[in-house]
Amino acid sequence: MQFLNPLVLIGLVAASIPVILHLLNLRKLKIIEFSTLRFLKELQKTKIRRLKIRQIILLILRTLIIVFAVLAFARPTIKSSLPFIGGTAKTSAVIILDNSFSMDVSDEGGNRFKQAKSAALSIIDALKEGDEVVLLDMAGNKKINSSLSRNFVLAKEELLKTKISNFPANLETSMRLASGILDKSINLNREVYIITDAQRNIFNNENKDSLKLFDKTTAVYFVPVGFKSNSNIQNLSVDSLNLLTRIFQKDKPVEIESRIKNNSGKDIHGAIVSLFYNNERVAQRTLDVPANEVRTLTIAAEPNQPGAVSACLELEDDALNYDNKRYFGFVIPDKPTVAIISKQAQSEYISTVYSSSGSEQLVNAKYFQPSEFAGVDLTNYDIVILAGGPYLKSDFDRLAQFIKNGGSCFIFADELTPSDVFNYGMSILGFGSVKELSYSETQPSQFTSVDKMHPLFEGVFKGTTDSKAIVESPKIYKALSNTQGQPLIEIPGGHFLSESRLGEGKVLYCSVPPEMGWSTFPVTGLFAAIIYRSTFYLSSREGIGVNVSAGNSIMLPVPARFAAFKNFKITDPNKNVSYLQSISLPNGTVLSLDNLNILGNYVVSTQQNKVVSIVSVNPLPSESYLKPVPEDEIEKSMKSRLSAPENFRLIEDTRNVVQNVNRARTGSELWKLLIALALLCAVAEMLVARNTKRELETI
Q: What is the pLDDT of residues 256-308, one digit of tens each?
A: 999 999 988 889 999 999 999 999 999 999 999 999 999 999 999 999 888 89
The class (CATH top level) of 236-318 is mainly beta
- At residue 338, the pLDDT reads 94
Cβ proximity of 670 and 77 under 8 Å: yes
To which CATH superfamily is domain 90-231+633-666 assigned? von Willebrand factor, type A domain (3.40.50.410)
Quickly state the pLDDT bin for 531 (edges 50, 70, 90): very high
Which has more pLDDT, 377 or 23? 377
Mind giving me the DSSP string for 383-409?
EEEE-S----HHHHHHHHHHHHTT-EE
* Residue 642: DSSP 8-state: B
41 pLDDT above the threshold of 60: no
Burial class (CB in 10 A: 0-12, 13-18, 19+), 243: middle
Quickly state the pLDDT bin for 511 (edges 50, 70, 90): very high
Cβ proximity of 143 and 111 under 8 Å: no
* Angle at CA of residue 121, ends 115 and 123, nearest 5°: 110
Q: Please tell me the distance from the alpha carbon of residue 386 to that of residue 401, in angstroms, as a whole number.
A: 15
Q: Please tell me the distance from the alpha carbon of residue 458 to that of residue 293, in angstroms, as a whole number.
A: 31
Q: Please tell me the distance from the alpha carbon of residue 379 to that of residue 408, in angstroms, as a whole number.
A: 11
Quickly state the pLDDT bin for 48 (edges 50, 70, 90): low
Nearest CA to 324 out of 261, 242, 254, 268 is that of 261
Quickly state the pLDDT bin for 662 (edges 50, 70, 90): low
pLDDT, one tens digit per residue, over 605-646 is 998 888 999 999 999 888 888 888 899 999 998 998 899 898
Alpha-carbon torsion angle 650, 656, 657, 660, nearest 10: -60
- At residue 465, the pLDDT reads 55
Which has more pLDDT, 32 or 134? 134
What backbone phi and psi angles, to 5 degrees, belong to 495? -100, 140
pLDDT, one tens digit per residue, over 90-140 is 889 999 999 999 999 988 888 999 999 999 999 999 888 889 999 999 987
440 pLDDT above the threshold of 80: yes
Mean pLDDT (the chain) is 85
pLDDT, one tens digit per residue, over 478-497 is 999 998 999 999 999 899 99
Q: Please tell me the distance from the alpha carbon of residue 31 to that of residue 680, in angstroms, as a whole number.
A: 35
- At residue 628, the pLDDT reads 86
- At residue 551, the pLDDT reads 82
- At residue 191, the pLDDT reads 92
Quickly state the pLDDT bin for 663 (edges 50, 70, 90): low
> 218-224 and 648-650 as β-strands: parallel, antiparallel, unpaired?
parallel
pLDDT, one tens digit per residue, over 570-591 is 999 999 999 999 998 888 889 9
- At residue 333, the pLDDT reads 83
3-state secondary structure of 95: strand
Nearest CA to 606 out of 250, 248, 308 is that of 308
pLDDT, one tens digit per residue, over 673-697 is 888 888 888 888 788 777 777 666 6
Please compute, for residue 537, the number of CA atoms within 13 A of its CA located in the half-sphere on the CB side: 17
Number of Cβ atoms within 10 Å of the Cβ of 499: 21
Please name the residues in contact with 528: beta carbons below 8 A apart, sequence gap of 6 or more. Answer: 353, 356
Cβ proximity of 262 and 291 under 8 Å: yes
- At residue 671, the pLDDT reads 72
pLDDT, one tens digit per residue, over 321-332 is 999 999 999 998
Q: What is the mean pLDDT of residues 200-216?
A: 75
pLDDT, one tens digit per residue, over 601-611 is 999 999 888 89
- At residue 360, the pLDDT reads 52
Q: Please tell me the distance from the alpha carbon of residue 212 to that of residue 218, in angstroms, as a whole number.
A: 12
Fold of the 337-539 domain: Rossmann fold (3.40.50)
- At residue 421, the pLDDT reads 95
3-state secondary structure of 242: strand
E-strand stretches of 302-413: 307-315, 325-332, 337-341, 364-368, 383-386, 408-412
Distance between alpha carbon 399 and the CA centroid of its chain, in Å?
40
